[in-house]
Amino acid sequence: MKFPKHFIFSTASAAYQIEGGWNEDGKGENIWDRIVHSDPNYIQDHSNADVTCDSYHKYKEDIKCIRKIGFKAYRFSLSWARILPTGDITRINKNGIKYYMDLIDELIKNDIQPMVTLYHWDLPQTLQNLGGWLNPIIADYFEDFAYLVFSIYGNKVKWWITINEPSCIASGYGGVDYAPAMHLNGIGEYLAGHTLIKAHAKVYRLYENHFKSAQKGKISFALNGAFGMPVSESEEDVMAAERYNQFEFGWFAHPIYSNTGDYPPVMRDTVDRNSAGEGRRFSRLPSFTNEEIEFIKGTYDFIGINHYTSRLCTTGSEGENPSRSRDTKVKTSVDPNWPPTGVSWNKVVPEGLRKLLNWLKNEYGNLTVFITENGYSDNTTVLHDKGRIEYYKVS
């Protein structure tokens, strides 16, 4: 049993989670800076990422560790506010530009491929003041940011992710678990998601039309979610699991990766009917024009998948009314026999990843796949690998 030669072992991080230096050398404030500083209780233990791993100062030490372990690639994200402190192209921070150039050069010198994520949750606060991802114009700001990034780093970076985990980003506008915690359930997540999809497509087309032929890179999206499996083999539970997966993955995958484009039909039909039943004259789920559907469809070179765990599904209702979770008409649970990890939501379900990959293949064909995030959390200081082995091993 050997991995194929083209298989790439990698590690990954996100700017806000690892860099620190939150206000150093001209970096602007982002939405996570704002929420944890204005409300320390937002994080249970009152921690923040002002310093975190201090990779802003210690990136060379990080790269030595990456090389020592034997990873051949490193996926990291750019802090939009470190490069453009206000999010606007009219104010460029040369120190931020230099930091990422130095990081990329150090990776290449150590024979480690950089995979760069343009956006991983940390919107500049000044753009949030305009409404954030609820405002369609943020897609244009994102395109400007991407143009600058491709122009500067594109000759050295061959793998790009436009947006990481759009459902989590959108959830920050529907609920309160993610910044900016707008609590606009059933409305905010769909509006933000709509803008995120258009922002991705704009940046993909930008790269395709202006950079790809010269820079020879590849670019795509990174989706996330728990895979839904039926509680039983009954038709009702099987249909519930399928609905769950269409709302969980199809929400962002169907407009981009399907042959027809647009939102999954079950999502379109369900939210439209629920909205009408609430007395609304229009749906809570926005609509794409025919031109937008064609513009968005096919904006990928591969698919990035962030997957950690799975859920059991049956027909039912949970979540606020209205909300995406209630729109699915699915009640989720976990099997008590699934082993725990260091965080409560992440159960050990190794078969879930294979089932997810098979589901994606059935829905969208033979895509080139990167598992861009996956892993087992451990709260202990001594790492006993039995838990990790079981996390990946299917009996």
Catalytic positions are 165, 373
- The answer on pLDDT for 68 being more than 80 is yes
- The answer on pLDDT for 363 being more than 90 is yes
Three-state SS for 117?
A: strand
Put simply, whether the predicted model's pTM sits higher than 0.85 gets the answer: yes
Query: Which strands sit side by side in the sheet containing 10-12, from one edge to the other?
Result: 10-12, 73-77, 113-119, 159-164, 218-224, 303-306, 369-373
- The answer on pLDDT for 381 being more than 70 is no
- The answer on pLDDT for 290 being more than 80 is yes
- The answer on pLDDT for 255 being more than 90 is yes
- The answer on pLDDT for 367 being more than 70 is yes
Give the distance from CA 136 to its chain's centroid: 19
Domains of the chain listed by start with CATH number:
1-168 (3.20.20.80), 225-395 (3.20.20.80)
How many Å apart are CA 109 and CA 230, to the nearest integer?
A: 48
Q: How many CB atoms lie within 10 A of CB 94?
A: 10
What number of residues does the chain have? Answer: 395
Question: For the chain, what is the largest distance between any 2 Cα atoms, rounded to a whole number of angstroms?
Answer: 61
How many Å apart are CA 286 and CA 292, to the nearest integer?
A: 12
Helix or strand holding residue 220 (H, E) = strand 218-224
pLDDT class for 195, splitting at 50, 70, 90? Answer: very high
How many Å apart are CA 178 and CA 35, to the nearest integer?
A: 9
Residue with tokens 């589901």: 359
Residue-wise pLDDT tens digits, 122-174: 999 999 999 999 999 999 999 999 999 999 999 999 999 999 999 999 999 99
Mean pLDDT of the 56-85 span: 98
Closest CA to 252 of 241, 262, 243, 244: 262
Residue-wise pLDDT tens digits, 312-342: 999 999 999 999 999 999 999 999 999 999 8
Classify the C-alpha dihedral 190-195-362-229 as positive or negative.
negative
pLDDT for 387: 86
The region of weakest confidence among 97-111, 148-162, 344-358, 380-394 is: 380-394
Taking phi over 0 as left and psi of -120 to 50 as alpha, with beta for the rest, 127 belongs to alpha
pLDDT class for 211, splitting at 50, 70, 90? Answer: very high
Q: What DSSP state is assigned to residue 288?
A: -
How many Å apart are CA 80 and CA 45, to the nearest integer?
A: 27
Taking phi over 0 as left and psi of -120 to 50 as alpha, with beta for the rest, 319 belongs to left
Burial class (CB in 10 A: 0-12, 13-18, 19+), 208: middle
Mean pLDDT of the 375-388 span: 78
pLDDT for 383: 66
Contact criterion met (CB below 8 Å) for 91 and 134: no
- The answer on pLDDT for 380 being more than 80 is no
Q: What DSSP state is assigned to residue 30?
A: B
Taking phi over 0 as left and psi of -120 to 50 as alpha, with beta for the rest, 262 belongs to left
- The answer on pLDDT for 11 being more than 80 is yes
pLDDT for 379: 75
The fraction of the chain above a pLDDT of 70, given in percent, is 98
pLDDT class for 86, splitting at 50, 70, 90? Answer: very high
Mean pLDDT of the 41-66 span: 97
Mean pLDDT of the 247-255 span: 98
Omega before 322 within 30 of 0, i.e. cis: yes
DSSP string over 146-213: HHHHHHHHTTT--EEEEEE-HHHHHHHHHSSSSTT----TTTHHHHHHHHHHHHHHHHHHHHHHHTHH
- The answer on pLDDT for 286 being more than 80 is yes
Task: Name the β-bridge partners of 74.
Answer: 11, 114
Q: What DSSP state is assigned to residue 299?
A: -
Q: What is the mean pLDDT of the chain?
A: 97
Give the distance from CA 253 to its chain's centroid: 12
pLDDT for 6: 87
**Which tokens sit at 78?**
């750019």
Three-state SS for 272?
A: helix
